[in-house]
Amino acid sequence: MKILKYSVIVFLTITMMVGLSVAWFEPKITVRASESDECLSVIKNMVGAVNNRDIPSYINCFVESERKDMEDFTSRYPSEFFREKEYKLVNIKELPKEIIPAIGASISRNANLDGERFFYCGIDMRLDREEKWLYNGINYRVIVMDKEDNNWKIGGIIVPSYKVLVDSGYGFGTSEEVASVKIEEEMERTGLVKNYRGDIIKDLRPTDADLKAEKGLITANDTKITTDNEQIRPSSITVYFTHSSNINYWGNVRAAVPLYDYVQDVLPNEWEGLWPSESLKAGALACKMYGWYHVYHPKWNYSPYYADVKDNTADQQYFVNSRYYLATQAINNVGGIGICRNDGNIFETHHFDGSYNEDGYHSGWMSQHGTKYWADSPRNRDYDYMVHYYYDYSPSSGNQLVKYFYY
């Protein structure tokens, strides 16, 4: 673990988290005021840039990797940068790192979250057209701050799991936040996206044919199924493309990709297609649930991306038509089941390259090479063992047991 030279001595506890009022901006969080001021200054600059339609100033608020993607977008679509017409910061508080995995608010594969800080914000928006989690009124986001060349920059602006955040005691207690939790719960369980007025603005329910194409031999009576069907698998996932092959195929920098197709074109790029079938099944579940989670909790739902995930290692590597028959077979073999926390909430199923060993027990991070280790002889473990090995009682699952559900 890195030593944080900028001396952010995080002795934050759950009971010590105190919000900031943006009306007077005197930080009441347990870090040095000067450092807090710098993060808040960057966030305020970003907000001002949106209101002023100032693309260069907006881009400058972000880390280098995001600046590059944003500049690439600007070169293609300079007039399509901002969908928000007004953007006002109304409340903000810093969150402790300990809650971040459970609310799905990390931006990198840095499991330790070294050098990152997290601010939970209420942003009052005005839009010509409402979309999923882009509503007229107060929208809640977690803004991730990274230190780059000794300066704080924005690494991402994420839609977290509101229910988990509020139930953990980190909410603002506003009526809009209560409404956000209700919208989130209904979205996950019905596939219908509603706004604050209750209007349906998007239908993410899959068709019967879509589900039939994915499902293999598992039925609702399978002994692994330990919870009732409480989730609706989304029909599609909005992907922001950085790879030229994807842009050329889709004819745009973003597209709504059918979720089944997305997972087929992700798994062979995250797991080796010739690895044992149980390793691939574990990977299929991890890749599917990662995408599924971010459909309902978008990671890039801000200018200029307006997407659930990217097609690169910031999320999962996606290359259109890269599917491999053994990987697709594994996806079908776990088709019809998903994983959730013991309390029924889905969560961000992190995975990474990892090592060919036992590392990662209850870490919340599935090791790709680790799944091969467990599947290989003489261990011969199945995917169920691997799912519980990595995700049970982990920070990502809220330190809860992981369960399977049928959909």
Question: Does the pLDDT of residue 17 top 60, yes or no?
Answer: no
Summarize the confidence of residues 324-333 as an average pLDDT. Answer: 97
Domains and CATH numbers, the chain: 14-184 (3.10.450.100), 205-406 (no CATH)
pLDDT above 70 coverage of the chain, percent: 87
Supply the mean pLDDT for the chain: 90
In a 10 Å sphere around its CB, with 0-12 CB exposed, 13-18 middle and 19+ buried, how is residue 128 labelled? exposed
Interatomic CA distance for residues 282 and 383, integer angstroms: 5
Q: Which pLDDT belongs to residue 256? A: 98
- Report which of 305, 192, 155, 191 is spatially closest to residue 239, judged by C-alpha positions: 305
Supply 19's token pair: 């919000």
pLDDT-derived band at 30, boundaries 50, 70, 90: very low
Tens digit of pLDDT for each residue in 387-405?
999 999 999 999 999 999 9
Tens digit of pLDDT for each residue in 63-105?
999 999 999 999 989 888 999 999 999 999 999 999 999 999 9
Supply 210's token pair: 């879509």
Amino acid occupying residue 286? A
Beta bridge partners of 404: 225, 339
pTM: 0.89
Interatomic CA distance for residues 368 and 394, integer angstroms: 17
